[in-house]
Structure 1
Amino acid sequence: MMIHGLGFLGLSASLVLPWALTGLVQGERITESLVKNVRQSSTVQEMPLPSRKLISAVSTATTYYVSGTGNDRNSGLTTSSAFRTIQRAADLTRPGDTVLIMNGVYKNPRNAGSVVSIERSGNAKAWIRYKAYPGHLPKIQHNTWSGIGLSNGVSYIEINGLEIIGDNANISLGYALSQKWNSSNRRTNGSCINIEGRTRHAHHINILNNKVHNCGGAGIAVIGADYVKVDNNTVFNNSWYSVYGCSGISLLMNYNSDNNRGYKMFVTNNKVYNNRMYIPWIESGTISDGNGIIVDISKLGKNGPYRGRTLIANNITYRNGGSGIHAHESEHVDIINNTAYANGKSLNLTKGEIYAGYSSDVNIFNNIIYVSRGRNANSNMKNKNVTYDYNLYNKGARITMMGSHDVIGDPQFVNPSNADFRLKARSPAINRGYYWKDLKTDYAGKRRPAGSGYDIGAYEYR
């Protein structure tokens, strides 16, 4: 058996959903750049002059400011001359630019598909960044297809520190049920952040430190993309009302932008909870998803099987409708050091807290998998080379696949009823994990290992 650490090889692929609705997921198919942030640099051009001397013309990056009290007729170049809409800044961005978003509530114009539609790309040496202004808490609130939509083959983009809110608070379950055949309802089907790469494939996208909630569709949907990093986000109360079978964080149809077989897709350090389907998937008439995190149908795709690896690590998933984490029809996925607690709130979804189905080359190591008594902790549905080991299961869990180093016992969380999944001093998870050589920190950003060995779960005990 070969066990992959953070720099090893892998493969995967993709399948196409109906184009109609950006950012939504089908059945077990919806779906959220790992390239490290590259320091912005200016470009230098040299022009020949009659004196035969050279002069440098330096193109510098621009910072645009957006404020809830701004005006789109302003220059956008200072805090006192800020734009009112993020879209105004997005339409001006060039590689290396930064959009700093100050306090305010930013809503979609009537009939617009997004609050902000990002279609202009950065490059490898000059990312375009959309960030909260230091100390500010801007809110993007929408009742349309997406709060933030990324399309047109966009690349080298960072979304950092924003709150994206859907329209769930204004929708009743009765109204949503009355719309269960309406695939064109933006309010019920809209996602919070959507990367749409089915026609022109997106790559090198970082989704960092955001609060993403109350969208009828997906929380963070990544479709047909490559080199995506979804890190340190809080994703909750999504997927309730869409007819498309959505989840909290979804990676769907990962796309090969190159032949790299190392880690390229990352879902790390996220807290994902209470994402659930209440409306049946329109294709089957059943509740099918509402997972915390899913990697979906990467084995099939327009340009062949996905060749990169996907890392899902240090996440906390709890009380979602479907599984906490799973890989469906996917390959080359490592699910490492996560904590999944009491998911499967949709009682017809019984495949497990953390599991793989119809998949191959999947490693499921160092996870705390806690289920209600008699519920499935995992399953083995037509898998090949899927390995469970060094995991901790609670007593009363139904365990289909069990590794030689797996542990059964009470994880002894500090206060799970208040979502505090840190470990107490006597937890059987302490020092019982596998040494995953390149995973150097835990969910809280603390060093791994803290003791004589890796702990199991998202937290290292201190």
Structure 2
Amino acid sequence: MKYNTSGTSGKYIKISGYPGETVTIRYAEPISGGYGPIKARGTRGYLIFENFVLDGINMPPATGWQIDGSNHHFVLRNLDIKNFRYNGLYTAGNDIQVINCKIHDNKPPTSTGYYYGIYANRSSNLLIQGNQIYNNSGGGLHLYPGPHSNPIIRNNSIMHNNYQARASVGGIILYSSAGPISNAKIYNNLVYRNGTSSSGPATGIRLVNTTSTKVWNNTIYGNKTYGLQISSGSSTTAQNNILYGNGTANYSNHGSNTTYTNNVTTDPKFMSASSNNFQLQSSSPAANKGVALSSVLNDYRNVPRPKGATHDIGGYENY
């Protein structure tokens, strides 16, 4: 599908699957390295895409959807992006929103390719919200090389990524090399069991050369190496996170001016980690032990915070 028009700031154009029907779109160009099912090139903006499946099954190696650097104000909502042989989604545009999508089972034809569920090259005001990102061979979500300003990553489940590649990306990595990554907010995410069957040093959340990143109320469990790894950067704030059961260490900090408070690294007493139920038992050391955060008013399920005297620690608000 080629799309060569734009909406306006007051009137978005919507491209949607018909309610109650399953609409599947497959590749546009049957060549290796070509475009995926949707081609929107040039300065296109103010578009909503929702309620359909992008399926890369049986297509040559290509990214599922590549949003060009001149694209802007795209909303991707309730999509299922799967089976591509590069990244599920690549974006370099500004004001891109990815909401309530499933992005999964994207992997290269060989065992050493470093491809991801979402690969964001550069952005301003990127929103990654409410998605399930899983079974992607190289990692879940990779912001690299920058610049990125004001990205928000919230209320996502990011699990079982980096099962094939040897890359260091597991769940979420923000890595600045070509431009700054500043004022990122990462909160209410469940980041678990990434890299557990790969040969690479996969982390839950990793920050490299970022500035003023906020990491709040995440549950980061059972990742291959580190839970939260601050490799470098300045002025990171990490509060109200559960960091438990990660392979090498739950927390590592080599940044400067880091604020690290009200995090739980001992047994948080989940309801059932074996069945991926990371809600809290009433005896949990994370219950009513968080710092009040005015920017985090709901939990992973959009339950209002706090229920009790103050915030629970981790992605769930139970007490």
TM-score by length of 2: 0.86
SS at the partner of 1:377?
A: strand
- Distance in 2, Cα, partners of 1:273 & 1:140: 20
* Cα root mean square deviation, aligned: 1.9
Opposite residue 175 of structure 2, the aligned amino acid is D
Q: Which of residues 228, 237, 256 in structure 1 aligns to 2:126?
A: 228
Q: Give the structure with the higher percent strand.
A: 2
Correspondences of 1:300-449 after superposition (within 5 Å): 300-301=178-179, 305-306=180-181, 308-321=182-195, 322-344=202-224, 350=225, 352-371=226-245, 375-381=248-254, 383-394=255-266, 410-449=267-306
1:91 maps to which residue? 4
Correspondences of 1:183-262 after superposition (within 5 Å): 187=85, 190-195=86-91, 197=92, 202-216=93-107, 217-238=115-136, 240=137, 246-255=138-147
8 Å contact kept, 2:4–2:44? no
8 Å contact kept, 1:94–1:121? no
Q: Which of residues 148, 151, 158 in structure 1 aligns to 2:75?
A: 158
Q: State the identity as a percent.
A: 24
Report how far residue 288 of structure 1 moved: 3.2
CA separation of 1:104 and 1:386: change in aligned 2, threshold 3 A: same
Report how far residue 121 of structure 1 moved: 5.0
8 Å contact kept, 1:121–1:156? no
SS at the partner of 2:213?
A: strand
- Distance in 1, Cα, partners of 2:70 & 2:281: 47
Opposite residue 219 of structure 2, the aligned amino acid is T
Q: Greater Rg, structure 1 or structure 2? A: 1
8 Å contact kept, 2:142–2:169? no
- Distance in 2, Cα, partners of 1:130 & 1:429: 38
2:30 maps to which residue? 110
Report how far residue 264 of structure 1 moved: 1.9
Opposite residue 193 of structure 1, the aligned amino acid is L
- Distance in 2, Cα, partners of 1:122 & 1:116: 13
Opposite residue 94 of structure 1, the aligned amino acid is G
- Distance in 2, Cα, partners of 1:438 & 1:151: 31
Opposite residue 412 of structure 1, the aligned amino acid is K
Report how far residue 277 of structure 1 moved: 4.9
1:139 maps to which residue? 53
- Distance in 2, Cα, partners of 1:121 & 1:235: 28
Aligned length: 294
8 Å contact kept, 2:69–2:94? no
- Distance in 2, Cα, partners of 1:104 & 1:129: 16
SS at the partner of 1:452?
A: coil
Opposite residue 171 of structure 2, the aligned amino acid is G
1:13 maps to which residue? none
Q: Give the structure with the higher percent helix.
A: 1
Q: Which runs of 4+ in 1 moved over 6 A?
A: none
1:183 maps to which residue? none
Report how far residue 371 of structure 1 moved: 1.5
> Which blocks of at least 5 consecutive residues in structure 1 are unaligned?
1-86, 133-137, 168-186, 241-245, 257-262, 280-286, 345-349, 395-409
Matched, 1:278 2:148: no
- Distance in 2, Cα, partners of 1:375 & 1:224: 30
SS at the partner of 1:323?
A: coil
> Which blocks of at least 5 consecutive residues in structure 2 are unaligned?
108-114, 196-201
SS at the partner of 1:447?
A: coil
Correspondences of 1:1-150 after superposition (within 5 Å): 87-88=1-2, 90-95=3-8, 96-102=12-18, 103-108=22-27, 109-111=29-31, 112-119=34-41, 127-132=46-51, 138-142=52-56, 143=59, 144-150=61-67
- Distance in 2, Cα, partners of 1:417 & 1:358: 33
8 Å contact kept, 1:226–1:254? no
- Distance in 1, Cα, partners of 2:16 & 2:167: 39
Query: Which digits, 9 at most, give the CA deviation of each residue in 1:202-228, with x for residues without a partner?
Result: 211101000000112210111111110
